[in-house]
Amino acid sequence: MRNVGKMGIHYLHKLNAANVPKELIENGQNRVIEASLTLIRERAKLKGELVRALGGSSASASLLGVPLGHNSSFLQGPAFAPPRIREAIWCGSTNSTTEEGKELEDPRIMTDVGDVPVQEIRDCGVDDDRLMSIISESVKLVMQQPPLRPLVLGGDHSISFPVVRGVSEHLGGPVDILHLDAHPDIYHEFEGNKYSHASPFARIMEGGYARRLLQVGIRSINKEGREQGKRFGVEQYEMRTFSRDRNFLENLKLGEGVKGVYISVDLDCLDPAFAPGVSHIEPGGLSFRDVLNILQNLQADVVAADVVEFNPQRDTVDGMTAMVAAKLVRELSAKISN
């Protein structure tokens, strides 16, 4: 996906060299961006109106896809994940009820506002600074239609920074974050990229968008990851001590004194026996039931969430990881909705 995204950018640079007016390109970019935001705005408005008309809901999960993969340091397959997750949610191999009995076909539990057209925007020559702002603005458009709350389908983990920023800015203050992952993703930057999927939580903490950050499932962390964790006061729970920490992690209470709780689930938090379709396979992870126990027992007002780093190009076992991602989305919808 990295090469695909750069083709349009490279060609636009050639056009600039050929004395094409800069304003022509900028005006075209602005039109594409406005059209992209308009579609999300209007879909969110429609879904918000529907949920409000039905009544009885103070919070409803709304899917927002962010098919971005170019900030991955290894493989870019997560850009293809959102449609595969949606397909698995509604594939018919299981019913549409969550474990606690919430019905996903009820729009008060889950709606869908579509995708941010990441590749189309990048093909117009839009850089990552502006792309991240577009993602943040898309999140805000969803939250401007209460009771909708964004449940974001990645994409690589770089999307968590603009999503959390949009949530925090809309709510007017920091959130607490529960982050499940094999990696802390808190490098200052990685391979010269400040927006790398290995760096979103450094950007989040620098920006003051989170008060408390708990990282669970960690089992691939180096010196910088630990130093950055100490710098930002991150609570890092490594797999090597999970048996000791289990009782605490399965009975978390978060969000008191802040605007709510954000949940970020990187599929590689799971042991690859449960989720082989990820870019960075790291043995020794959480079981799927471990993750569900943590999420289902969490006491919190969950204002938004993401599921990231599913790589369909590595999901070779009959769509197994797609179904795992779908199940997480279903259960997060239940957690968000009330």
The answer to whether position 224 is within a domain reads yes
The answer to whether position 188 is within a domain reads yes
Number of domains in the chain: 1
The answer to whether position 21 is within a domain reads yes
What's the Rg (C-alpha) of the chain?
A: 19
Model pLDDT, residue 112: 98
The answer to whether position 5 is within a domain reads no
The answer to whether position 1 is within a domain reads no
Q: Which range marks the domain in which residue 325 is found?
A: 11-336
Model pLDDT, residue 22: 85
The answer to whether position 26 is within a domain reads yes
Q: Region of 132 please: left (phi>0), alpha (psi -120 to 50) or beta.
A: alpha
Binding-site residues sit at 157, 181, 183, 185, 266, 268
| DSSP code at position 319 | T
The answer to whether position 6 is within a domain reads no
The domain that holds 207 is classified in CATH as 3.40.800.10
Residues of the chain with pLDDT under 50: 1-5
Model pLDDT, residue 316: 82
The answer to whether position 3 is within a domain reads no
Model pLDDT, residue 11: 64
Binding-site residues for Mn(2+) sit at 157, 181, 183, 185, 266, 268
Angle, helices 160-171/128-143, rounded to nearest 10 degrees: 50
